């Protein structure tokens, strides 16, 4: 293999890619439920659609990621899934009615689902080889997430909600272009010997399962927020720009955490524990339907409830599995996260319909259970 050069612009290219990648959830996460509502779906149907998207990824990601590992081409996988996302969401743009939308969402999730885990696998492998921290590069994704939140909120004030899907399609086109600019890390496929990787034995590790379930429950506790905060806040009179700003505020704190994460002497488990505590406080406070001033403060906890949990989880899997099957390991980890998220997404529609803001009590309990699971993970000692 050609030696990796520290000054090969890898970090810059990866930062641009992450920036393009997070434009998509920046548009989709707060506002996609509004698009579904504009197409005539009620809250329960929206919950089912969101849950199906996650469920498809449960099955698709491990299979596709293993195929990419066997091909030995993480960059090629990122290019293929990026442009597949263009096709998937373009098809969704022409879907009408619950059944058609359900099938279109399933297809879009199938072809684009591996993107996040592939991106982290690619990033961690390339950055570790160059002795660079993940957080300061990944933060550019969070920055564009905020920009997408705010700009989408502004655009929705002047364009029809049904046109939102074409913003997502355009973002996938931009992402595919950025993927073409990435460096290739693997000059050859993984051999059959290499394929007997640490990823397989992770499923036999009680510590791995404990931290995976913990992180899965904490991240899944965001389901009600992800699926229905925009609907809830607009119903209470907040404008789409305000909704975008509220989402962006939480991610701004996340960016700060990512920026300093390379200097923090915390174990992966400690990061996840901080995330669990922040999520319990956050969702408990949300259940009281806080006023705007308090809501803004609560949103700042997103930097910990999501950001700290994410940092701890991906660091754990990267150190535990190595890079011979980086994509498979990250994909298996994301499968556990997806299972928890699918159940929470399906339940969130029912919770919101039945209890409104009080549904966040269930989310707080889920995060608390995730934190409790970390007790089983504490004996794990992972070498840097």
**75 touches 22 (CB < 8 A):** no
CA separation for the pair 140, 144 (Å, rounded): 6
pLDDT beneath 50, residues of the chain: 1-5, 188-199, 380-384
Q: Which residues contact 53 (CB under 8 A, 6 or more apart)?
A: 105, 106, 108, 109, 345
Domain ranges across the chain: 10-187+202-377
CA separation for the pair 342, 109 (Å, rounded): 13
Give the CA-trace dihedral at 226, 229, 230, 235, to 10 degrees.
Answer: 160
CA separation for the pair 109, 365 (Å, rounded): 28
CA separation for the pair 254, 274 (Å, rounded): 13
Residue 315 has a pLDDT of 82
Entry pTM: 0.77
Domain covering 10-187+202-377, topology: Growth Hormone; Chain: A; (1.20.1250)
- Burial per residue of 309-341, b for 16 or more beta-carbon CB atoms within 10 angstroms, e otherwise: bbbbbbbbbbebbebbbbbbbbbbbbbbbbbbb
Residue 188 has a pLDDT of 47
Q: Which of 192, 173, 288, 223 is nearest to 53 (CA)?
A: 223
Q: Which two tokens stand for residue 97?
A: 């009615």
Residue 2 has a pLDDT of 39
Q: Which of 249, 310, 348, 247 is nearest to 27 (CA)?
A: 247
Please work out, in degrees rounded to the nearest 5, the angle formed at the alpha carbon of residue 283 by the alpha carbons of 280 and 287. Answer: 135
Find the length of the chain.
Answer: 384
Q: Which residues contact 287 (CB under 8 A, 6 or more apart)?
A: 357, 358, 359, 360, 361, 364
Residue 189 has a pLDDT of 45
């Amino acid at each position: 293999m050609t030696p990796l050069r520290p000054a090969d612009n890898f970090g810059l290219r990866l930062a641009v890619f992450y920036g393009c990648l997070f434009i998509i959830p920046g548009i989709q996460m707060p506002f996609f439920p509004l698009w579904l509502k504009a197409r005539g779906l009620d809250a329960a149907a929206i919950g089912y659609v969101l849950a199906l998207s996650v469920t498809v990824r449960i099955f698709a990601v491990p299979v596709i990621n293993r195929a990419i590992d066997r091909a030995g081409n993480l960059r090629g996988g990122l290019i293929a899934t990026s442009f597949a996302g263009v096709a998937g969401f373009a098809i969704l743009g022409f879907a009408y009615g619950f059944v058609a939308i359900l099938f279109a969402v399933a297809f879009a999730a199938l072809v684009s689902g591996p993107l996040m885990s592939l991106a982290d696998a690619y990033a961690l492998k390339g950055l570790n080889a160059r002795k660079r921290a993940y957080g300061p590069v990944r933060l550019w994704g969070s920055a564009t997430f905020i920009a997408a939140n705010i700009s989408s909120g502004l655009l929705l004030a002047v364009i029809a909600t049904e046109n939102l899907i074409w913003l997502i399609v355009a973002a996938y086109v931009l992402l595919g272009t950025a993927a073409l600019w990435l460096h290739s890390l693997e000059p050859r496929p993984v051999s059959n010997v290499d394929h007997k990787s640490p990823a397989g034995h992770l499923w036999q590790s009680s510590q791995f399962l404990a931290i995976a379930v913990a992180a899965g429950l904490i991240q899944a506790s965001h389901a009600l927020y992800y699926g229905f905060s925009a609907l809830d806040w607009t119903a209470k009179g907040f404008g789409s720009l305000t909704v975008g700003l509220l989402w962006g505020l939480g991610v701004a704190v996340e960016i700060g955490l990512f920026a300093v994460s390379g200097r923090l002497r915390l174990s992966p488990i400690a990061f996840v524990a901080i995330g669990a505590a922040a999520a319990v406080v956050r969702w408990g406070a949300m259940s009281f339907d806080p006023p705007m001033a308090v809501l803004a403060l609560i949103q700042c906890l997103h930097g910990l409830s999501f950001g700290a949990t994410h940092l701890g989880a991906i660091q754990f899997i990267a150190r535990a599995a190595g890079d011979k099957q980086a994509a498979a390991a990250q994909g298996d980890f994301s499968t556990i996260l997806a299972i928890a998220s699918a159940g929470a997404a399906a339940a969130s529609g029912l919770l919101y319909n039945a209890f409104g803001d009080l549904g966040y009590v269930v989310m707080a309990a889920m995060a608390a259970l995730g934190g409790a699971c970390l007790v089983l993970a504490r004996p794990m000692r992972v070498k840097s």
